[in-house]
Structure 1
Amino acid sequence: MSARRIARKLGLVVPFAALVSAPVPLAAAQPPPPPPPGCPDVQVVFARGTGEPVGVGGVGQAFVDQLRAQAAPRSVDVYAVNYPASADFGDRIQFARTVVDGIRDAGRKVESTAAACPDTDIVLGGFSQGAAVAGYVTSAEIPEEVPAEYREFIPEPMSDEVGDHVAAVVLFGRPSDRFLTDAGAPPIAIGPSYQDKTLSLCAEGDTICNGAPIGLPSFAHNSYLMNGMATEGAAYAVARLQPAPPAPAPAPAPEPAPAPFGAPAPALGPAPFAAPAPPAPAPAPPAPPAPAPAPAG
C-alpha cells in the first residue's frame, strides 16, 4: 500500500441458481485488462445495463460526464466492463455465465489498476444488471448458495488491500434482495471494506430496486438520465477522492535574447547633451517715417 493510501435495467435476473444446476464450465479466463498509459488520478470502472451497446451505457456516460466536471483538474480514465450485458433470459445458464464474466472482468481491472497505479483512486459503478455485477465484485466471500464443486468457476473475492484503492462505489437501480431472491439468485452483500463508501441510488417507483416482486422494469427504471441522480452519484464519489494535485507553477519569464554578434553595445551612463539651438534672429528695425508733402506754390 502506498504512503498516500495510508494518510443495473437488470431486466430480469442474475440466475446463479441456473449456473449451479449443471457442471457447465465458464468461459476461458481472459488476461487482465492492460493499465492505461500513465496513471490517471481517477480510474472509473463501470458496468452497463441489460441490452445497452458496448461501452458504459447511457446512465454510465451521464455519471462519467458529471464526475469529470466535478473532479477537475484531476485526470479521469474510464473502463467499460467487458461483458455481454445479455438480455437472453431464455438461456439461463449462458446468461449466468455472462454475468460471472462481468464480475471477473471488473475485478481484474480493479486489481490491475491497484497494482500498476497504487496512487490512483478507483471508482466502481454500474447500472441495473451492471449494478449487480459491481455489487457482487465487492463481496467478501462467494455466496453460500454456490456449492463447493462449482466454486472454481466463480472469481475469488478481491483482497482488502485492493479494496483500499477503491475510493467509492456508486450503484444505480441495483436489483433488490427481494427481486434477486424471487429469481433464485443470491442477494448482493456489499463487503465490509466497501460499506462506508458505497452509494446505492434507487429512483422512486423503480420496481427493480425498490423491493417489489420480480417482474418487468417500471418506467422509473429508465429515469436516471434525467432525475439528477447521475450528478448526485458523481458528487458522492468526488467527495471521497484524494485532494486534487496542486496546479503547476507558472513558467518563468524568458531571458532577453542576446544582441547579434558585432552589433554595437548600448552606451552606458547618461545620454550626451544635445547641442544648444542657435539664438533667434533680432527683430527688423522700424521703417523710416514718410517725407512731409511739399508746400503748394
Structure 2
Amino acid sequence: MNFTRVLTLPYTAALAMLSLSTVAAPTASAAPCPDIEVVFARGTHEPPGVGPTGEAFVDALRPQIGSKSLNVYPVNYPATDQWATGADGIRDASARILSTVETCPDTKIVLGGYSQGAAVAGFVTSAAVPSGVDPATVPKPLQPEVADHVAAVVLFGLPNVRAMNFLGEPPVEIGPLYASKTSTLCATEDPVCSDGLNFAMHTPSSYDGDLVSQGAAFAASQLNGTSQWESR
C-alpha cells in the first residue's frame, strides 16, 4: 500500500475504509465431527500430549479403521508423582467425553491410558465414587447412557491393587457398563500391573510392538463390530 498517497487523499481513503467495513467478516465454521475420537491419558512425567504409548496406539489403530476420520484428545492433567492430582485427569477426560457426546453424538469414543493415565481412564468408567473417597473432591461418575458412546477402553500398564495401595490410592474398578469393552494389557513382569518385580519392564518401550498392536486390534474390533459401523 502507498501510505503517502493515502495521506494526500484522505477522502478517498475514508471511502475505501468505509467500503471495507461493510464487507462481512468471514465466520469460522465448526470442525466436522470425527467418526472416532481417542481420549488418551499419558503416564507419569511424560510431556503433555498422549505420550509414547498413546502415539504408538493411535498409529496402530489408524490403518484398521479404513477411511473413517479419527481425532485424538490428550487428557490434560499434571501427570506428576503426586497421584492425587490424577483427579484432574479424571475430571478433564470426563468433561471431554461429555462434550463429545453432546456435540457429536454419532462419534465413537475410544478411551485409553498408560500407567497413571490408565488409572485415570479406568476411574472415568467407575460406576461409583471409590470407598473412602470424599465425593466432593472427585468428579461424579458418568451417566449410564454415556457408556453407549464409548466403543472401547484400552489400558496399558494399569496399576494393580498392590501398586495403588503402595501409592495410598483406592483400587481402580472398571464400571460394569464398560467391563465387556475394556482391554487391560500388562508387560511381562511389570510390577505395576502384575506380580512381577522387574521394574525395568514398566516403560513405554515394553508396550510398543505386540501389546500396542493387541490394544489397537481390540479397539478396532469394538469399533467395527457395532451395527452403526457395519451400516457405513
TM-score grouping bracket, smaller chain normalisation: 0.7 to 0.9
The answer as to whether partners of 2:61 and 2:217 remain within 8 angstroms in 1 is yes
The answer as to whether partners of 1:73 and 1:244 remain within 8 angstroms in 2 is no
Q: Does 1:237 align with 2:219?
A: yes
- Secondary structure of the 1:167 match is strand
1:78 corresponds to which of 72, 83, 91: 72
Find the aligned partners of 2:207 and 2:172 in 1 and give their Cα distance.
24
Q: Does 1:131 align with 2:118?
A: yes
Structure-1 residue corresponding to 2:171: 187
TM-score normalised according to structure 2 size: 0.81
Structure-2 residue corresponding to 1:4: none
Please show how residues 18-57 of structure 1 align to structure 2 within 5 Å.
Answer: 37-57=31-51
Q: Which runs of 5+ in 1 are unaligned?
A: 1-35, 90-94, 247-297
The answer as to whether partners of 1:224 and 1:230 remain within 8 angstroms in 2 is no
Q: Does 1:60 align with 2:32?
A: no
Find the aligned partners of 1:69 and 1:245 in 2 and give their Cα distance.
19
Amino acid at match of 1:226: D
The answer as to whether partners of 1:179 and 1:212 remain within 8 angstroms in 2 is no
Amino acid at match of 1:228: D
Find the aligned partners of 1:112 and 1:51 in 2 and give their Cα distance.
27
Please show how residues 256-275 of structure 1 align to structure 2 within 5 Å.
Answer: none
Find the aligned partners of 2:178 and 2:158 in 1 and give their Cα distance.
15
Structure-1 residue corresponding to 2:210: 228
Find the aligned partners of 2:91 and 2:40 in 1 and give their Cα distance.
13
Find the aligned partners of 2:91 and 2:59 in 1 and give their Cα distance.
26
Identical-residue share of aligned pairs (%): 51
Structure-2 residue corresponding to 1:162: 146
How far 1:160 moved relative to its partner?
A: 0.9
Deviations 1:186-245 (A, max 9, x none): 1101001100000000010101100358xxx71111134434111110110011114267
Find the aligned partners of 1:211 and 1:185 in 2 and give their Cα distance.
18
Q: Which runs of 5+ in 2 are unaligned?
A: 1-29
Runs of 4+ with deviation above 3 angstroms: 223-227
Find the aligned partners of 1:68 and 1:244 in 2 and give their Cα distance.
17
Structure-2 residue corresponding to 1:198: 182
The answer as to whether partners of 2:130 and 2:170 remain within 8 angstroms in 1 is yes
Find the aligned partners of 1:230 and 1:72 in 2 and give their Cα distance.
18
Relative to structure 1, the CA distance from residue 83 to residue 137 in structure 2 (aligned partners, 3 Å threshold; closer, same or farther) is same
Q: Does 1:209 align with 2:193?
A: yes
Relative to structure 1, the CA distance from residue 224 to residue 212 in structure 2 (aligned partners, 3 Å threshold; closer, same or farther) is closer
Find the aligned partners of 2:56 and 2:34 in 1 and give their Cα distance.
20
Superposed CA RMSD in Å reads 1.7
Deviations 1:76-107 (A, max 9, x none): 000000011113x4xxxxx41x2110000001
Find the aligned partners of 1:74 and 1:143 in 2 and give their Cα distance.
37
- Secondary structure of the 1:204 match is coil
Deviations 1:130-170 (A, max 9, x none): 00000011000001111xxx321210000110111000000
Structure-1 residue corresponding to 2:12: none
Amino acid at match of 2:70: V
The answer as to whether partners of 1:125 and 1:169 remain within 8 angstroms in 2 is yes
Q: Greater helix percent: which structure?
A: 2
Relative to structure 1, the CA distance from residue 226 to residue 154 in structure 2 (aligned partners, 3 Å threshold; closer, same or farther) is closer
- Secondary structure of the 2:39 match is strand
Find the aligned partners of 2:130 and 2:62 in 1 and give their Cα distance.
35
Structure-1 residue corresponding to 2:96: 109
Relative contact order: is structure 1 or structure 2 higher (C-alpha 8 Å, sep ≥ 6)?
1
How far 1:63 moved relative to its partner?
A: 0.1
